[in-house]
Amino acid sequence: MATVNKNLSVYDKSAMPDASKFRFGIVVSEWNDTITEGLYKGAYNTLIENGVLPSNIVRWDVPGSFELIYASKKMQEQMVNGVIAIGSVIQGETKHFDFVCEAVSQGIKDLNVMRDVPVIFCVLTDNTMQQAIERSGGKHGNKGTEAAVAAIKMAELRKKA
């Protein structure tokens, strides 16, 4: 398991680019909202800690992870420097998990290939609710924090490219 003994919230703040002029969109799935709200808080707080003004963070909610693709595409059109797509899909008894995970992964990848504003994949795809809890503010830190760090770095890369 990639996150064993690793806290996802640890990063070197001194190595971060100046994010004070950036504007970010965060698209949050309402499905498994106890998890996605934890991820959102991690992402939001990290953006703020790195100088992003609260007024430069736009949040949109969508019903589920599948809808993150469309909303992220529309968010790219909103004069943002980066988008964070937040969701949580937990393995169930059917193949639905596989279809949703594959579609969302490919859809967000496609947005990054075909468009100019980076979309950061912050969709937990866990086997159990406990694994999701541990990665959304639990013992493994917060994947939302990691996504915000990636968003800032990718916005900076986009600016330089």
Could you give the residue numbers annotated as active site?
96
Q: How do beta strands 141-142 and 136-138 pair?
A: antiparallel
Contact 108, 85 (CB under 8 A): yes
Which residues are CB-neighbours of 11 under 8 A, at least 6 positions away?
145, 146, 149
For 106, the enclosing helix (H) or strand (E) is helix 96-114
